[in-house]
Structure 1
C-alpha cells in the first residue's frame, strides 16, 4: 500500500509541479505527518525533490526530472476505459485505480499534451444520469462486475415485473452496460442471451468459469437490443396537429408557420395521453378516436375544476 502511495505522490509532483504537504495529504487521504515521512523516503531513494518553507513553499521535483514509473496495473487499465465516467468507475470499485491511471497517463505525455489534457478535464464533464431520477441502488454491482471480468457464471435471484416475480437462474455474464444512469447485465442463459437490470438482482453466487461465445460483440448486441425495444415499445400511431413549438418539442419538422399535421408513434393510449398532455395547447389529437376522447374529457375536467376553484381571485 505504501509503495503505491509513494508512486502516486511522485506522479502528483511530476504532473502538477509544486505542492504543499497539506495539498498532498488531501490528495492521498493521509495525514501531513505521513506525507513528511513519504517525502523523506523518496529523497532517501535518490528522487531529486526539494522542499521550500513559507507562503510560496512546498515540495517539487528538480526541473527536468521525469519518472518512468508509468506502467498501468490491470485495474488501472480497466479504469482508464471509464475515464469519461468517473461515477461509473467508482460504482465498479475502480475509483482509486482510475485516479492513479489518469496520473500515469498524464505523466507519460509530453508537457504540451499534458497541459491540453488538463484543460479538457477543467472545461468538460460528462454526467450520464437524467435530471429527474435518483441513482439506482446496486449492492451487487461489484460482484457482477467481478464475474464479467473473470468470465465466471453466476446463480442469480432476480426480481422481474411479471409472475413469478422472483426467479432463480444460472447465467453466464458477457458484459455490463450503463444506460441513462442505470446498469444492465448482458448474460447468456437457458433461453439465450438476455438483459437484466442490476438493481433488480436480489442475490448472486459465483460459480465455475465459462468460455465466452466466439464472435460475441457487446456493442452490436446492445444496439440490436435497443432497436428491438423501441420497435416493441411503439406499437401504435396517432394523428395530431401541432403548433411550431409543439412540433419542436416532439421532434417533428414543421410544414408551415401555423399548424402541422403529423403521424407519431405511440406506446399505448394511456402512455400517449400522459405524454401529449404535457404539450398543453401546442397539440390537438385527431385520431385514434379513443385517445382524442380521453384528451377532451381530461381538458373538460380540468376546465371545470379551475373554473369552480374557491380560491379564484374575483374580477374587479
Structure 2
C-alpha cells in the first residue's frame, strides 16, 4: 500500500509541478505528517525531490525527471471505467485506487494531451444523483463492492416490506448498479443448502448487516450485468403497475405529465392519447400501481384531469376536491 502511495506522490509532482505538503495530502487522502515521511523516503531512495521554502513554495521534482513506473494494476485498470463518476468510485471504496490509476495514465501522456484532459473535465460533468431526494447512507457498500470484485460469498441481513421484515440470506454478489443516485446489486441467493440459487436484485440501502465470507464462487457463464439489470427493471415496472385508470386530460395536462407522472404513465399518454373531444380534452388509459398511489399521483394535475374509472379512484378524487373546496371556501 505504501509503495503505491509513494509512486502516487511522484506522479502527482510529475503531473502538477510544485505542490505543498497539504495539497499532496488532500489529493491522496492522508495526513500531512504522512506526506513528510513519504517525501523523506523518496529522497532516500534517490528520487530527486527538493523543497522550495516561503510563500508559493512546496515540493517539486528536478527539471527533466520523469518516472516510467506507470503500469496499471488490474484493480486500477478496472476503475478507469468509473473515472466519470468519482463520487461513485469513492462510495464503492475505490476512490484512492481511481486517483492512482488516473495519475499513472496522465504520467504516460504527452503534456499537450494531459492539458486536453483537463479541458474536457472542465467542459463536461456527470452528476449521477437523483433530484429532490435525501442521500441514502450505505455503510456496507464498500464491503459489498469488495465481495463483487473478489468474487466472495457473503451473508447479509436485510430489511423488506413484508413480514418477516428482517431476513437473512447467503448471497453471491454479481454486480452493483447506480440508478438515479440509488445503489442496487444483483446476486445469486441461496434460500437453503439444497435449493438451487436464484438471481435477485436488492437495494443496497436495505442491507442491515453484511459479512463477507472466505468462500469464493464462479460467476454464471454468460452472465451480463447490463442485460440482467435492464430485464429486471422492465419486469419491475410491469409488476409495479398492475391496474389501470381511464382519465380525461385538459390540454394543459399533456404538457405537464412528463414532468409530474411516472415514466410508464407518461409513455402511455404519449403513445395512447386519442383525438380531443369538442371541449379539447383527450381520454387515455394510464397504468397505475394502486388506487391509493394513483390518487396521490393524479392530484398533482388539479383541475386539468378527470378520472373516469375505476369508481373507487373517482370517488377518492371527488372527496379530495370537496375537502379542498371546504378548506379554501
The TM-score with structure 1 as length reference comes to 0.83
Question: Is the alpha carbon distance of 1:246 and 1:140 closer, same or farther for their aligned partners in structure 2, counting shifts above 3 Å?
Answer: same
CA distance in 1, matches of 2:156, 2:28: 37
Comparing 132-141 and 210-219, the one that deviates more? 132-141
Aligned to 1:263: 285
Answering whether residue 175 of structure 2 is matched by residue 169 of structure 1, we say no
Deviations 1:12-65 (A, max 9, x none): 122223334443344345566765664465455454555545555444445554
Answering whether residue 160 of structure 2 is matched by residue 155 of structure 1, we say no
CA distance in 2, matches of 1:130, 1:44: 49
Aligned to 2:210: 204
Aligned to 1:312: none
Aligned to 1:233: 240
Aligned to 2:81: 81
Question: Is the alpha carbon distance of 1:258 and 1:71 closer, same or farther for their aligned partners in structure 2, counting shifts above 3 Å?
Answer: farther
Shift of 1:100: 1.6
Structure 1, unmatched stretches of 5+, are 308-316
Comparing 253-262 and 9-18, the one that deviates more? 253-262
Q: Is the 8 A contact 2:80 2:101 kept in 1?
A: yes
Q: Number of residues paired by the alignment?
A: 307
Shift of 1:267: 1.5
CA distance in 1, matches of 2:250, 2:46: 73
Shift of 1:283: 2.3
Structure 2, unmatched stretches of 5+, are 190-194, 259-268
Question: Is the alpha carbon distance of 1:244 and 1:42 closer, same or farther for their aligned partners in structure 2, counting shifts above 3 Å?
Answer: farther
Structure 2 residue aligned with 1:287, among 304, 309, 313?
Answer: 309
Q: Is the 8 A contact 2:28 2:96 kept in 1?
A: no
Question: Is the alpha carbon distance of 1:283 and 1:96 closer, same or farther for their aligned partners in structure 2, counting shifts above 3 Å?
Answer: same
CA distance in 2, matches of 1:167, 1:77: 36
Question: Is the alpha carbon distance of 1:235 and 1:73 closer, same or farther for their aligned partners in structure 2, counting shifts above 3 Å?
Answer: same
Q: Is the 8 A contact 1:155 1:207 kept in 2?
A: no
Q: Is the 8 A contact 1:17 1:61 kept in 2?
A: yes
Aligned to 1:183: 183
Deviations 1:47-106 (A, max 9, x none): 455554555544444555432122223432333222222222222221211222222222
Shift of 1:137: 2.9
Question: Is the alpha carbon distance of 1:2 and 1:117 closer, same or farther for their aligned partners in structure 2, counting shifts above 3 Å?
Answer: same
Aligned to 1:314: none
Q: CA RMSD in A?
A: 2.9
Answering whether residue 312 of structure 2 is matched by residue 296 of structure 1, we say no
Comparing 40-49 and 115-124, the one that deviates more? 40-49
Aligned to 1:224: 231
CA distance in 1, matches of 2:73, 2:318: 63
Question: Is the alpha carbon distance of 1:25 and 1:163 closer, same or farther for their aligned partners in structure 2, counting shifts above 3 Å?
Answer: closer
Aligned to 2:4: 4
